[in-house]
Amino acid sequence: MNVMTETRTAALDHVADFPAIPAGWAYLDTAATAQKPQMVIDAITRGYDDSYATVHRGVYQRSADMTLAYEAARRKVASFLGAGSADEIVFVRGATEGINLVAHSWAGTQLKAGDRILLSQLEHHSNIVPWQMVAERVGAQIDVLPLTPDHRIDLDAMAAMITPQHKLVALAHVSNVLGSVLDGKRAAEIAHSVRAKILLDGCQSVPRMTVDVAALDCDFYVFSAHKLYGPTGIGVLWARPELLEAMPPYQGGGSMIDSVSFERTTYAPPPGRFEAGTPHIVGALGLHAAIDYVESIGLDRIHAHETALVTMTREALSQINSLTLFGPEDSAGIVSFSIQGVHPHDIGTILDEAKVAVRAGHHCAQPLMASLGVDATARASFGVYNTAADVEALVRGIERVTRIFG
């Protein structure tokens, strides 16, 4: 009861920041997309309302001001990730495009027949399919790391499996299904022991824990703004500067060029080389505001808050005999489960009637579902706006599910 009281008290300061969450609605699908605080909405509105202009092109004052704001957002992201320079930050549409950019411009030019790529059993489809496409094109092979009994990526197995033929490792920093947290630094050490590069998918980590790419010693890091309480349509690829410098452009068009003629085109240095066309200007402003928002609360506090909610949820759900919990006890903000004899879509529908929103399905992780022995799961995922009352509503809803299905 003490944990419940402390969690409710800590969360009440932030629920009012989110205008799209009405009273009595338990939004437990933050892992899919986070709701937006008013300060992010206001930043987007201002961007379109009284200050909108293009960037990097106009010589008039408003364009110059918007360019400064856009590049300030890049510097904010660099600081947020512990990057050495803003030039290491490439704005993309989301983590999916960031991974595809690396697959096309780094892996597609560096890998050859006989090389190997190392993934894990719990990866999101966005961290599987691009590598399959590259492997098929260049003749590389993909190996898959197993999970530990408590559903973490097995780094001991990684140390045993990795060989000098492995040129790239791509892993989720936090699983979008299980909430299991990867020891990214150890994974990087293992990858670098055979001179492989490592990419970390940070979609589920940046909203709930401090990320320092220098301390992690990774080579590529990606995330999507909309999971960080920011807008959709913008995300980030961070990469080591020497890797970006050696990578060819992903797309051609405006902004990414140095000079163009019909005889020859030369390209801008990174990050501009990878940002063809008019960028999502206001999206960058919204991302800046989202980072300001989470930093004003403190990522350590956010992680502790979500951990308390996860603990409450797992303790309550473990009392239901027909329910199976997946993932480790200390999962980061995410609880996945199944109920014997009940399809997750039915769980989600009945919970919706009780004004509880959860995700139901394979969560873009079908290989993981197969390894868990299920077709789908229900998933509750938490954010800064959730409280103990949301957990209580979830548990009441699941108890109703079990009564309906006997």
Q: Is 218 considered catalytic here?
A: no
* Catalytic annotation, pick one of 194, 304, 364, 374: 364
Asked if omega into 271 is within 30° of 0 (cis), the reply is yes
User: Which residue from 317, 343, 347 is spatially nearest to 329, judged by alpha carbons?
Assistant: 317
Largest CA distance in the chain: 73
If 0-12 CB within 10 Å is exposed, 13-18 middle and 19+ buried, where does residue 341 land? exposed
Question: Rounded distance, CA 223 to CA 253, Å?
Answer: 24
Which secondary-structure segment (H or E) carries 390? helix 388-404
SS3 162: coil
SS3 372: helix
Question: Rounded distance, CA 201 to CA 367, Å?
Answer: 17
Residue with tokens 């039915």: 346
User: Which residue from 99, 97, 154, 100 is spatially nearest to 122, judged by alpha carbons?
Assistant: 154
What residues are annotated to the active site? 364
